[in-house]
Amino acid sequence: MPELPEVEVVRRGLDTHIVGSTFDTVEVLHPRAVRGNDVDLTEILPGLSVTGTGRRGKFMWLELSDGAAVMVHLRMSGQMIVGEPGLVDSPHLRIRALMHGVGSAPFELDFIDQRTFGSWQYTQLIDGIPAAIPHIAPDPFETDFDPVATARAIRKKNVAIKTVLLDQSVVSGIGSIYADEAMWAAWIKPTRKGRALRQRDAVRLLEESRAVMARALQAGGTSFDSLYVNVNGASGYFSRSLNAYGQADEPCARCGTPIARTVVNGRSSYFCPVCQVL
């Protein structure tokens, strides 16, 4: 599933290419792509303009000229592609929107989703955040993110720290890839319980989470297959820089010990059994 860096790469692409543009027509090609809506996107979006973009964790949205937003969740395989009309020819095309900018030729915004887990949802904004995601905690890139308070919340959890990092009600945007990378950078093993961490270690873990995701952003995100691409269809290349995730049996970049794999709450976790001692 795309995590914060991958979603942010897509959001930035949309911010560059479609802000200021207007929906002309919207065609829904699969009903699951618009599940959860109380309105018909094919009727409400035409005539509305995109005034901005936003993101919290793994959710992003298009701010609309009527004050509402279209919240986009990519989930496992969602892609947002901007291009010339008719450019996308995919059996997994779920939503096709024809748009135009001021004085520009029409273009398409296409939502491709092979596994049909993703969606577009028309929603109101409350304090700039979609009303549909009140349970999602701030992510480490938000200006009002409080690492000290979040570290305290982590230390109240009597479960493995890997599980806590994936809990989007504690801190959002971190998935399995960047959780493993952050724990490796902070020398913390994934089975350590949240309440067993010192405050300074929990804060450092959050700082390392932000740092590794910032590096991933610079690399365009992490792509292991063709399911994650940016709005131009290009893949990210942060997978070349991974120290822990998916590196089972490869030598640790710090000490040379083979990276180990374990399962935490049903999720694979990769760590160095020598370095990650906290």
On the CB side of 239, CA atoms within 13 Å amount to: 11
Residue 58 annotated to the active site: yes
Concerning whether 215 is annotated as a catalytic residue, the answer is no
Residues 75, 193, 267, 273: which is the catalytic one? 267
- Distance (Å, whole) CA 142 – CA 149: 14
The answer to whether residue 207 is catalytic is no
* Residue 157 marked in a binding site: yes
Catalytic residue among 3, 8, 108, 208: 3
Structure tokens at 190: 């994934």
Would you say 115 is a known binding-site residue?
yes
Among candidate residues 11, 58, 94, 155, the one labeled active-site is 58
Say how far residue 181 (Cα) sits from the centre of its chain.
Answer: 16
The question of whether 181 is a catalytic residue gets the answer: no
Q: Is 215 annotated as a binding residue?
A: no
Annotated binding site for DNA: 92, 115, 157
Catalytic annotation, residues:
2-3, 58, 267
Annotated binding site: 92, 115, 157
